[in-house]
């Protein structure tokens, strides 16, 4: 076996060409399916964007490393569908930058966690997981209740996402900070504006239980409560873009 390898090394040009050929085949296998993506990826005109508060919560989710233990992608396997709900669709992640599908499940998949538990449950769970799940190995995040949410640059965040295809409007960008505060305060005069910009299904709630104070806990709970609920596509018969054109 080593003799054959030594012969290859002595023929460096031929060896390099063989490497290029093998790499080209591997690249073709990965790239070719992208040319048919319009025929296989679902479309949903009712898919809504994250609100500024939910987007801030997503950033905190990433910052705290939640994605390292929780995936957000339910596969088509029967046991996963029975445990977590309808399998994940590509369209559900079209506004995710970066996507958080993941493969590590120290904790359960969170793709359908939205609405499964109350806001108070999430607050208690994040503050000290053992308060609600005695055998939990998840770390506690008590500082989320103490830290006030920084909202000054939310408009810039929305503007940056619009540059890469997320359909935020100028009004959404200009109202980002105000909308974040209003979504976590049901008594705010700006609640109607949030609903007008993001839809009737927008979750308006004092997520951390203190409507007069906007915390990182508000943002993270708002994000968790929307997971799996940006679109109902996964619960409906699927139609690809190619089938719609027909």
pLDDT at 239 over 90: no
Q: What are 34-49's pLDDT values in tens digits?
A: 777 666 667 777 889 9
Structure tokens at 72: 């957000």
> What is this structure's pTM?
0.82
Q: What is the pLDDT of residues 152-211, one digit of tens each?
A: 999 999 999 999 999 999 999 999 999 999 999 999 999 999 999 999 989 999 999 999
Q: Rounded to whole angstroms, how far apart are CA atoms 161 and 101? A: 19
Rounded to the nearest 10°, the torsion over CA 52, 55, 57, 60 is: -130
Give the pLDDT confidence score for residue 37 in this predicted structure.
Answer: 65
Higher-scoring residue by pLDDT: 67, 39 = 67
**Spans of all domains in the chain:** 2-39, 42-233
**What is the per-residue pLDDT for 38?**
67
Q: What burial class does residue 202 get, using C-beta atoms within 10 Å of its C-beta: 0-12 exposed, 13-18 middle, 19+ buried?
A: buried
Q: In 152-204, which ranges are continuous DSSP H helix? A: 154-163, 170-174, 176-183, 191-198
Per-residue confidence at 27, pLDDT binned at 50, 70, 90? confident
Q: 3-class DSSP state for residue 42?
A: strand
Query: What residues contact residue 102 under an 8 Å CB cut-off, 6+ apart?
Result: 67, 68, 70, 71, 72, 73
Architecture in CATH of 42-233: Orthogonal Bundle (1.10)
Give me the pLDDT at residue 1, please. Answer: 62
């Amino acid at each position: 076996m080593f003799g054959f390898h030594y012969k290859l090394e002595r023929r460096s040009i031929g060896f390099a060409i063989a490497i290029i050929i093998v790499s080209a085949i591997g690249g073709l296998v990965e790239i070719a399916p992208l040319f048919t993506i319009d025929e296989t990826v679902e479309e949903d005109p009712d898919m809504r964007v994250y609100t500024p508060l939910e987007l801030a919560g997503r950033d905190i989710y990433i910052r705290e490393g939640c994605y390292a233990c929780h995936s957000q992608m339910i596969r088509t396997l029967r046991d996963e569908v029975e445990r977590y709900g309808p399998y994940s669709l590509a369209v559900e992640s079209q506004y995710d930058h970066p996507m958080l599908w993941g493969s590590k499940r120290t904790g359960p998949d969170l793709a359908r966690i939205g609405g499964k538990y109350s806001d108070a449950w999430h607050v208690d769970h994040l503050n000290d997981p053992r308060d609600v799940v005695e055998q939990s190995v998840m770390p506690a995040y008590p500082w989320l209740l103490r830290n006030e949410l920084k909202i000054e640059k939310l408009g810039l965040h929305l503007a940056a996402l619009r540059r890469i295809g997320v359909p935020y409007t100028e009004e959404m960008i200009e109202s980002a900070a105000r909308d974040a505060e209003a979504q976590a305060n049901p008594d705010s005069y700006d609640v109607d504006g949030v609903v007008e910009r993001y839809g009737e299904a927008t979750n308006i709630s004092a997520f951390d239980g203190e409507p007069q104070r906007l915390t990182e806990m508000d943002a993270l709970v708002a994000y968790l409560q929307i997971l799996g609920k940006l679109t109902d596509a996964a619960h409906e018969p699927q139609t690809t873009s190619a089938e719609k054109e027909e």
